[in-house]
A and B are shown apart, each in its own frame.
Chain A
Amino acid sequence: MNNIFIVEDHDTVLKIWKKKNIQNLDLVHLDAHIDLGIHLAKPLKKILEEAEDIKELKEKLEYAISYLHYAKDFKKQIDIGNYIYPAIKEDIVRDFYWVIPGGIKEFKSSFKLIKNILRDILKEENKNEKLSIEYLDEGLIVSSILGRRFFVSILEKLPNFNKEILLDIDTDFLVIDTLKKADNTQEIGKRRPWILPKDLSLILKKKITRPKIITIAYSVNGGFTPINYRYFADELAYQFSNSKFKKRLFKKYKATRYFLLFNSTGKKEFYWKAVSLDRAFRLPDNNYGPLYLIKNRFLKAQEEFKRILKVDKDNFGSLVGMAQILLRNKDFKRAKRFFLKALRLKNKNDTPIHRLKERTLFGLAKIELKFKKLNKAKNYLISLKNNSCLEPEVYYLLGLILEKEKKYILAVQYYKDAIRLGFNDILPLKHLIKITKYLKQKDDIIKYINYRYRTFKNNFLRLERAKKRIKGLNSLRQKLLDLEKSLIQLNKSQYNNLTI
C-alpha cells in the first residue's frame, strides 16, 4: 500500500485528495469530530443565489465582504474543523461515513449530540431543510446532508467496502472514547486509548479492502491528541504498510519514550533527546498549558509553561502562554517582556505559529494601549490586519485609536468591520453613535447603527427567551438600555419622527 499519508493537521488531507485528482469517492472518516463545518463566507454570487430573503442576503453578504476584504481569499477559511465541506462541494467526496469512537453504549449516549451536530450543519446550509434519520442498525444511521448520503456509525457496524474509497483517520479517534468527551478541554491529561492502532487496523483491513488513499492526522495541535500518543498515527501507518513506516515508527516511538521520561523526571536531557528525534516535541501542545488556559485554570497553565521553559527557555508556545497569563494578571511589563522575547525568536521552533503570532501581536497591542502608546499599538494592529487577521477585536481597537486621532471616517470603517466579523459586544455601536456628531454625511451610518442595533437586540431577546443561564446577560441588558437611550436621542436629532 503506497498511498498512505500522515499529516500534522487534518485539513492537509484536502490538498492530498486534490493533488491526487480524487473525484466521487466515498469517504470513511474515523474521528471524534465531524470536520464538516460549513464555510460561512461564500462567493457573493452563491450567497445571492441561496438567500431566502433580503435579511439573510444582507447578513451573509456583510460577513463575506468583510472576510474577502481582509482575508482576500475564501480558501483561507479551510481549517481542521471544516475541510470536508469543500471536499463535498467540489465532488471529491461522494457519500460520507462518519465513524465515531466507542461502541453501542457510547453511540446511544451520544445520540442526541449526533442529531444536534447533523441538524446544525443542515441549518447552516439550508435553514428550511429538516433532518431526517433512518435507523439501519443499532449504531448505524443514515441521513441526507448536502445532497449526499450521510452515515454515522460505530466501528463495529461500519459496512464492508469492496470498492475504492478514501480512508481518513484522526489519531484522536483512538484516545477519545466517546463523542461526549470530544472537546479538547475535556479530560485534560487523562486521555487513554480505548482501542490500539493494531486492533483498529485489523478491523479496518477486513472492512475496507481497496482504500484508494489512507490519510492519518496526528491532531496534536489544539490538544486533541495528547503528544504522548502522537506516535499512534505512525503505528497505524506501519500496520497498513510495514516496510515504508518501520524506521519512522521506531524513531517516533523512541522520541516518545524520552519525552515520557522528561515528563516524569523533568530532566532537560530527556526533553532534548526527544526533540532531536522528533521536532514536534517542541510544539505548543507539548504540555497541557494551552488547554488549561482555555479553561481559565491559570495556575495549572502557568505550572505547565514553566515546566517547559525551565528546560527550553526559547519555547515559543510557552513564552506566549506565560505572557498571556501575565497580561491577564495585569502584570503588563513582564507580559511585554515575554511577548517580545517570543516575537524576536528567529526560529519559532518550527511550529505552526500563525495563531500564536497573532496572539503575541494582539497582546502587545493591548499592552501598548494600556501604556497609552497609541502609535506602537496601532503598528501591531496594522501588522495583524495586513496578515489577514480576522479577529474582530483587532478592528475594534483600531477603531478606538483612530477615533482618538480624530480620523472619524476610518474609525467608522473599522468599527463596522469589527461588527461584521462578529464582535460580540455593543461597544462598537456605542462608539459609532458618539462619532456621528463629527461626521458631515451621517445618514447611512445612522441607518446602519439602527439596523445593527435591532439585530443585536433581537439576538439578545432570543437568548433571554431561551432562559439559559448565560454569564453577563444582566449587564448586557443594562448596556442595551443605555445604548437605546443614546440611539433614541441620535435618531431624534437626525430624523424627528424615526422610531426604532
Chain B
Amino acid sequence: MQAEVILRKNPNVVSRIIGNEMILLPIYRNSDEINCIYTLNKSASFVWENLDGKTPLGKIKQKILKEFDAKPEEIDKELEKLIKELKEIKALD
C-alpha cells in the first residue's frame, strides 16, 4: 500500500447511510451504466468517509488502527482489497 497516495471519490457516485449501512449509488446520465447499488460494511464505510481527496492513505490507515481492533498487516491487506474493489466499480476517480 502506498501511504502517500491520495484518492478522490468519483462525483458520479453518491453515498448515504441508511439504517446501519453505507450505500453507494452511481448517478450517471446514461442509465445503462447504472446496474446496482453497493453497500459497504462498517470498516469500509469508515474508509469511504475518510476518502476526502485530501487525506493520504497512510493517514487513513492510522485512523483505522485507532478505531478498529485489527493488526496493521490485516488492515493493509483489507484496505488494498477495498480500494481495488472501489476502483472496479468506478467509485474512485
Contacts and interface: CB of A to CB of B under 8 A. Distances in A.
Contact of B18 (A43, A44, A54, A65): A54
B13 to A, nearest CB: 10
A48 B31 contact: no
Interface stretch (B21-29, B47-55, B83-91): B21-29
A309 interface: no
A405 interface: no
B32 A48 contact: no
Interface residues of A, dominant DSSP = helix
Interface residues of B, number: 14
Contacts of B27: 43-45
Contacts of B14: 44-45, 48
Interface in B50-92: none
Interface in A30-89: 43-45, 48-49, 51-54, 57-58, 61, 65-66, 68-69
B18 to A, nearest CB: 6
A65 B25 contact: no
Contact of A65 (B19, B23, B34, B39): B34
A66 B35 CA distance: 11
B31 A57 contact: no
Contact of B23 (A43, A48, A68): A48
A57 B34 contact: no
A433 B32 CA distance: 24
A48 B34 contact: no
B37 A58 contact: yes
A182 B19 CA distance: 42
Interface in B1-26: 14-16, 18-19, 21, 23, 25
Nearest to A47: B25
A43 to B, nearest CB: 7
A32 to B, nearest CB: 36
Contacts of B32: 69
Contacts of B37: 57-58, 61
Contact of A54 (B15, B23, B31, B34): B23
Contacts of B21: 54
B34 A51 contact: no
Of listed A48, A49, A61, residue having the most chain B CB within 10 A: A48
A379 B31 CA distance: 23
Contacts of A57: 18, 23, 37
Given A54-B23, A61-B25, A49 B16 contact: yes
Contact of B25 (A44, A52, A53, A69): A44
Given A65-B31, A69-B31, A48 B19 contact: no
Of listed B18, B21, B23, residue having the most chain A CB within 10 A: B18
A68 B32 CA distance: 9
A48 B32 CA distance: 18
Nearest to B26: A44
A446 to B, nearest CB: 16
A58 B18 CA distance: 12
A52 B17 CA distance: 10
A65 B34 CA distance: 8
Nearest to B29: A68
Contacts of B18: 51-54, 57
Of listed B15, B21, B25, B31, residue having the most chain A CB within 10 A: B31
A463 to B, nearest CB: 28
Interface of A: 43-45, 48-49, 51-54, 57-58, 61, 65-66, 68-69
Given A51-B18, A52-B18, 15 more contacts: A44-B14, A44-B25, A44-B34, A45-B25, A48-B15, A48-B16, A48-B23, A48-B25, A54-B19, A54-B21, A54-B23, A54-B39, A58-B37, A65-B31, A69-B31
The 8 closest A-B pairs by CB, nearest first: A69-B31, A68-B31, A44-B27, A48-B25, A45-B14, A65-B31, A48-B16, A45-B27
